[in-house]
């Protein structure tokens, strides 16, 4: 190692001083070479590289913006679809509910209608029965009258004038209570 140092020292003594002696010519060459480099780089290289970097930066920013927009759009559409789905579901539910209630109402209506109809039919039947009863009573009366006339004739051997007979019978029958024959219609004594 000591040898190494002495060698270095010796080499410095042995004409190494030119290493630290500046030369004007070389300095001018340096400035020329650097000046040319600077000029060319500033004119031809740096602006283009810078432009390209800026362009890419813009492209990246635009892509990010577009991606964000697309994402927002997608989210908006998704929300819309969800809302529509919800609406459709609600609508379907309301339709079902309405249909159910309509069906129920219709059922009730038809039940009511049937009841009314039945009532009417029963009423009609009742009226028919009443009318029939009355007619039957009338018939019986008439029959009884005739029979009575016949019976009286047979008993009395006397013929009354039809008018007298009828009057008499009617009086007799009028005294009879036929209401009982009317059944449920008449009040029973």
Partner 1 sequence: MRSLSRKQILLLAAAVWLGGAVLIYAATGSSGKNEEFQPTGEFKLEEWLPLGFNRAVLYLLLAALLTIVTMVYIAKRMADRPNRVQTAVETVFVFMRDQIAGANLDRDMARKWFPFVGALFLFIWFNNMLGYIPLPVNDHEPISIGSLELPSFAIYAATANISIPLALSLMVWITYHIVGIRRQGLGKYFASWVPAGVEGFARGPIFLIEVISHFVRTISLSVRLFANILAGHLLILFMAGGLGVILGVAALGWFTLPAAVLFFLFEVGLVATLQAFIFATLTAIYLGGAVAAEH
List contacts with partner 1 (CB under 8 A).
3-4, 7, 11-12, 14-16, 18-23, 25-31, 33-34, 36-38, 40-42, 44-46, 48-53, 55-56, 59
Minimum distance of partner 1 from residue 16's CB (angstroms): 4
By the 10 Å C-beta count (0-12 exposed, 13-18 middle, 19+ buried), 129 is classed as middle
Minimum distance of partner 1 from residue 59's CB (angstroms): 7
Q: 38 or 176, CB closer to partner 1? A: 38
Q: Using an 8 Å Cβ cutoff, are 158 and 120 in contact?
A: no
Tokens of 179: 């209401």
Minimum distance of partner 1 from residue 70's CB (angstroms): 21
Minimum distance of partner 1 from residue 66's CB (angstroms): 16
Q: 9 or 122, CB closer to partner 1? A: 9
Q: 66 or 113, CB closer to partner 1? A: 66
Q: 41 or 78, CB closer to partner 1? A: 41
Tokens of 153: 């004739």
Q: Which residues contact 152 (CB under 8 A, 6 or more apart)?
A: 160, 165, 168
Q: Using an 8 Å Cβ cutoff, are 145 and 173 in contact?
A: yes
Distance in angstroms (rounded) separating the CA atoms of residues 162 and 170:
12
């Amino acid at each position: 190692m000591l040898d190494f140092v002495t060698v270095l020292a010796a080499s410095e003594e042995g004409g190494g001083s030119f290493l630290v002696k500046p030369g004007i010519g070389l300095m001018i060459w340096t400035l020329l070479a650097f000046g040319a480099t600077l000029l060319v780089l500033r004119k031809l290289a740096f602006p283009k590289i810078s432009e390209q970097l800026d362009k890419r930066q813009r492209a990246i920013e635009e892509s990010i913006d577009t991606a964000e927009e697309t994402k927002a759009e997608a989210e908006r559409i998704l929300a819309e679809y969800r809302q529509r789905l919800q609406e459709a579901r609600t609508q379907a539910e309301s339709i079902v509910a309405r249909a159910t209630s309509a069906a129920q109402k219709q059922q009730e209506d038809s039940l009511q209608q049937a009841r009314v109809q039945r009532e009417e039919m029963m009423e009609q039947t009742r009226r028919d029965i009443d009318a029939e009863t009355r007619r039957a009573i009338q018939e019986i009366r008439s029959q009884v009258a005739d029979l009575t006339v016949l019976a009286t004739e047979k008993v009395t051997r006397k013929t009354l004038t039809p008018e007298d007979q009828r009057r008499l019978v009617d009086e007799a029958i009028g005294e009879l209570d036929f209401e009982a024959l009317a059944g449920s219609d008449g009040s029973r004594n």
